């Protein structure tokens, strides 16, 4: 999949660079080429991706260009998306699960401007490339789809070791002892593991990754996923991957199982989406106009399609 995507992208992008180079008039002196980034930058990202896929969970350093959106708004994910995208791509962009969140709208608009020909969609099933912040879609992704997650903190060890140089050695040694101690201390202090999101997850039995700020609810979706999951940290300049059909196991003790967010109410019933009635989705807690607490799917496309099915 990556191979065919890259070939496609090189071809498409090459063509438009040719156009740019011949541009000479005063008005288009500063025009932007297809995919915004210069071709060498895209090539570097694609090489980094290949290495990341070859060593699941390993954080591959890359130079990371500045994007026209701010660091922290998804520049790592965007560089991956722009390096892979060809004009025949079908792209979906979500933030907090929603296609209409301001940041998703902004990124989608940017791609539409700089990548003419790309098809934009809200349908999870239809997309070939999905860029997301904080969620993995509810609908199970299929082989051939690529999920690009935006990453603020690529290294799960940062909670126990601030020095990058030392963390790199710890990863190399597979030394996650201090992370285990942190989980154990949580149990002693709070009788609960307090990590809410960005839950440390062991990939292919070796490297532990920060799966990006997805809720614990989404972590099991990485395990033996059919889709290729790519993680881009622009500010921290790292790329890593969970290739299709790879083990992804959240760190947990044999007597204390990993648990996802709990959506049962006081009566012990699973809360449902007040809009579509789903009893299985990740829910956002909202305060309605009367001041009452209500719950709705965080994945807007999932919620819409559930509603559509009922009609």
Which residues of this protein are in contact with Zn ion, per CB under 5 A? 273, 275-276, 278, 297, 303
Whether residue 97 lies in the annotated active site: no
Side-chain-facing half-sphere of 97: CA atoms under 13 Å: 22
Whether residue 273 lies in the annotated active site: yes
Q: Is 311 an interacting residue with respect to another protein (CB under 8 A)?
A: no
With tokens 């998804």, the residue in question is 74
Tell me the closest approach of the beta carbon of residue 143 to another protein, in angstroms: 26
The phi, psi pair for 4, rounded to 5°, reads: -65, -35
Whether residue 115 lies in the annotated active site: no
The two three-digit tokens of residue 30, written as one number: 């500063």
Residue from 6, 13, 64, 278 that binds another protein (CB under 8 A)?
A: 64
Measure the CA–CA gap between 272 and 63, rounded to whole angstroms: 45
Interface with another protein (CB under 8 A), residue total 69
Q: Is 286 an interacting residue with respect to another protein (CB under 8 A)?
A: yes
Which among 237, 232, 212 is positioned nearest to 222, based on CA atoms?
212
Answer with the entry of another protein, Zn ion, none that 278 interacts with (C-beta below 5 to 8 A by kind): Zn ion
Cβ(239)–Cβ(49) under 8 Å?
yes
The sign one gets for the Cα dihedral 6, 7, 9, 14 is positive
Which chain residues interact with another protein by CB under 8 A? Answer: 30, 32-33, 36-41, 44, 61-68, 70-73, 75, 95-98, 100-103, 105-106, 109, 133-135, 152, 162-165, 168, 190-192, 194-198, 213-217, 235, 237, 261-262, 275, 282-286, 296, 298, 300
Report the catalytic residues.
Answer: 57, 273, 276, 297, 303
């Amino acid at each position: 999949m990556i191979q065919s995507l890259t070939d496609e992208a090189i071809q498409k992008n090459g063509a438009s660079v040719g156009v740019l180079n011949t541009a000479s008039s005063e008005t288009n002196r500063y025009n932007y080429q297809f995919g915004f980034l210069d071709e060498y930058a895209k090539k570097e990202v694609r090489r980094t991706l290949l290495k990341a896929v070859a060593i699941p969970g390993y954080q591959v350093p890359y130079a990371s260009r500045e994007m026209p959106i701010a660091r922290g708004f998804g520049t790592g994910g965007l560089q991956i998306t722009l390096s892979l995208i060809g004009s025949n791509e079908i792209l979906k962009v979500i933030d907090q699960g929603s296609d209409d969140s301001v940041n998703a709208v902004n990124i989608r608009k940017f791609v539409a401007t700089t990548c003419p020909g790309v098809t934009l969609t809200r349908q999870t099933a239809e997309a070939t490339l999905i860029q997301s912040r904080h969620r993995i879609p509810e609908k199970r992704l299929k082989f051939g789809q690529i999920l690009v997650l935006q990453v603020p903190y690529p290294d799960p060890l940062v909670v126990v070791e601030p020095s990058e140089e030392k963390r790199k050695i710890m990863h190399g040694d597979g030394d996650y002892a201090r992370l285990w101690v942190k989980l154990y201390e949580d149990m002693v202090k709070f009788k609960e593991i307090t990590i809410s999101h960005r839950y440390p997850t062991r990939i292919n039995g070796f490297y532990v990754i920060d799966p990006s700020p997805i809720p614990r609810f989404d972590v099991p979706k990485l395990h033996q996923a059919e889709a290729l999951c790519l993680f881009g940290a622009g500010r921290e300049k790292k790329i890593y991957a969970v290739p299709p059909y790879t083990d992804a196991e959240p760190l947990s003790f044999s007597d204390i199982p990993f648990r996802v967010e709990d959506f049962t109410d006081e009566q012990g019933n699973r809360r449902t989406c007040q809009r579509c009635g789903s009893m299985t989705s990740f829910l956002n807690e909202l305060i309605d106009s009367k001041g009452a607490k209500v719950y709705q799917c965080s994945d807007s496309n999932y919620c819409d399609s559930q509603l559509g099915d009922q009609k």
